[in-house]
Amino acid sequence: MVNIPLFPLRAVLFPKCKMQLQIFEPRYLDMISYCMKHDQGFGVILVAEGSEFDVKHIEQVGTLAKIIDFFQLPNGLLGITITGEGKFAVLDHWKSEQGFLMSESQLLPEEPHISVPDEWFGLVDLLKALVQHPLLQDLELDVNYGDAMVVSNHLAAYMPFSEEKKQSMLEISNPLKRLEKLKGLLNDMQHSA
């Protein structure tokens, strides 16, 4: 068991993926300070009910985030770039004295590194096209296109799926099963277009 500060968002972070955040609430500035002081990351967890400002319920599985860059946004606020590390399961959570959520969590086993089977090369091609998008180019993604975990996480993270669908994919612990689910979701998107 480990104590992890939580950053509840209406967004899902996946291992090996990057995300930029704007930090402006005092409690989250305190959380970033706490993490820096204790040389640790924080957990990104999906808000299941409520909003980022008024969290009623959080999901149970999230991703540990490591801060890899700080920058000042044009509006003068603090921006950070984070990268997803391992997944964790929240066992209990409470509000810290500074106002941010803390959790007692269990780190989940790392997913196996499996080569992308030939049948999924179309998804690899889709990801190669996706990372050329200007918004993703800003993140300077470093993608191992041969690793099914990396490919499936990046597609799940950056395709325009609902956050609830992304959460369901985060909770899958086998990258080949995640690729299979992605293929089904992409087929659904094509047929509803």
Q: What is the pLDDT of residues 126-169, one digit of tens each?
A: 999 999 988 888 888 889 999 999 999 999 999 999 999 999 99
Residue ranges matching CATH 2.30.130.40 in the chain:
2-107
Q: Which residues contact 95 (CB under 8 A, 6 or more apart)?
A: 101, 102
Alpha-carbon gap, residue 43 to 7, rounded angstroms = 6
Q: Which residue has the tokens 């700080």?
A: 70
Beta bridge partners of 70: 80
Beta bridge partners of 147: 115
Tokens of 1: 């068991």
Contact predicate 129/100, CB 8 Å: no
Query: Percentage of the chain with pLDDT > 70?
Result: 99
> For position 180, what pLDDT does the model report?
93
For the domain covering 118-192, report its CATH number. Answer: 1.20.58
> For position 37, what pLDDT does the model report?
87
Alpha-carbon gap, residue 16 to 131, rounded angstroms = 14
> For position 140, what pLDDT does the model report?
83
Indicate the average pLDDT of the chain: 90
Q: Name the pTM for this structure.
A: 0.91
The one-letter code for the residue type at 100 is F
Q: What is the pLDDT of residues 44-70, one digit of tens each?
A: 999 988 777 777 889 999 999 999 988
Alpha-carbon gap, residue 186 to 182, rounded angstroms = 6
> For position 93, what pLDDT does the model report?
92
Residue ranges matching CATH 1.20.58 in the chain:
118-192
95-119 burial, b for 16+ CB within 10 Å, e for fewer?
Answer: ebeeebbbbebeebeebeeeebeee
The superfamily CATH assigns to domain 2-107 is: LON domain-like (2.30.130.40)
Alpha-carbon gap, residue 46 to 13, rounded angstroms = 9
What average pLDDT score do residues 109-136 get? 91
CB atoms near residue 72 (< 10 Å): 9
Q: What is the pLDDT of residues 93-102, one digit of tens each?
A: 998 888 888 9
Burial class (CB within 10 angstroms; exposed 0-12, middle 13-18, buried 19+) of 71? exposed
> For position 158, what pLDDT does the model report?
93
| Confidence category of residue 193, pLDDT binned at 50, 70, 90 | low
Q: Which residue has the tokens 């400002």?
A: 53
The one-letter code for the residue type at 58 is I
